[in-house]
Structure 1
Amino acid sequence: MSFDLSGKAALVTGASSGLGRRFAITLAQAGAKVAVAARRVDRLDSLVQEIAEFDGRAIAIQLDVTDPDSVRHVLDVAETELGGLSIMVNNAGMVLRGDAHEMALADWDAVIETNLRGAWMMAQQTARHMMRLGHGGSIINIASILGIQGRPWVPAYSASKGGLISLTRALAVEWAPHGIRVNAIVPGYIETDINREFLASAAGKTLKARIPQGRTGVPEDLDGPLLLLASDLSGFMTGTTLTVDGGHSAQL
Structure 2
Amino acid sequence: MRELNGLSALVTGGSRGLGLLLARELAGRGCRVTIAARDPHELAEAAELLRSDGAEVRTAVCDVRDQNQVRGLVTGTAREQGGLDIVIGNAGIIQVGPVGVLGAREFHDALDSIFLGALYTSLESLPYLRESPAGGRLALIGSIGGLLAVPHLLPYSCAKAAVGTLAEGLHEEQARYGVSVTAVHPGLMRTGSHLHARFTGNAEREFAWFSTLAGLPLLSMNAERAAGRIVTAVARRRPRVVLTPLARTGARLHGVAPVLTTRMNRLFARMLPRADEGPSRPLEGSRAAPRDRTAATRARRLATVLNERAADRLNQRGPSTGTR
- Structure 2 length-normalised TM: 0.68
Match of 1:192 in 2: 191
Match of 2:22 in 1: 23
19-28 vs 122-131, greater mean Cα deviation = 122-131
Contact 2:8 2:81 in 1 (8 A): yes
Q: Is residue 2:222 matched to residue 1:218? A: yes
Q: CA RMSD of the aligned region, Å? A: 2.5
| C-alpha separation in 1, matches of 2:205 and 2:220 | 12
| Amino acid paired to 2:129 | M
Question: Structure 1 residues 111 and 68 mapped into 2: Cα distance closer, same or farther (>3 Å)?
Answer: same
Contact 2:7 2:31 in 1 (8 A): yes
| Amino acid paired to 1:20 | G
CA positional deviation for 1:136: 3.2
Match of 2:80 in 1: 81
| Amino acid paired to 1:159 | C
| C-alpha separation in 2, matches of 1:241 and 1:121 | 20
Percent identity over paired residues: 25
- Segments of 5+ residues of structure 2 without an aligned counterpart are 196-203, 254-324
Match of 2:155 in 1: 156
Contact 1:3 1:228 in 2 (8 A): no
Contact 2:74 2:124 in 1 (8 A): yes
Match of 2:34 in 1: 35
Question: Structure 1 residues 117 and 205 mapped into 2: Cα distance closer, same or farther (>3 Å)?
Answer: closer
Q: Which gives a bigger RCO, structure 1 or 2 (Cα 8 Å, sep 6+)?
A: 2
| C-alpha separation in 1, matches of 2:43 and 2:145 | 28
Question: Structure 1 residues 176 and 57 mapped into 2: Cα distance closer, same or farther (>3 Å)?
Answer: same
Q: Is residue 2:234 matched to residue 1:230? A: yes
Question: Structure 1 residues 53 and 241 mapped into 2: Cα distance closer, same or farther (>3 Å)?
Answer: same
Match of 2:43 in 1: 44
Report the 3-state secondary structure (helix = DSSP H, G, I; strand = E; otherwise coil) of the residue aligned with 1:74: helix
Contact 2:25 2:228 in 1 (8 A): no
| C-alpha separation in 2, matches of 1:198 and 1:249 | 27
Report the 3-state secondary structure (helix = DSSP H, G, I; strand = E; otherwise coil) of the residue aligned with 1:195: helix
58-67 vs 216-225, greater mean Cα deviation = 216-225
Report the 3-state secondary structure (helix = DSSP H, G, I; strand = E; otherwise coil) of the residue aligned with 2:96: coil
Match of 2:4 in 1: 5
Cα displacement string for residues 27-62 of structure 1 (whole angstroms, at most 9, x for unaligned residues): 111110000000012211122223323332100100
- Structure 1 length-normalised TM: 0.87
Match of 1:90 in 2: 89
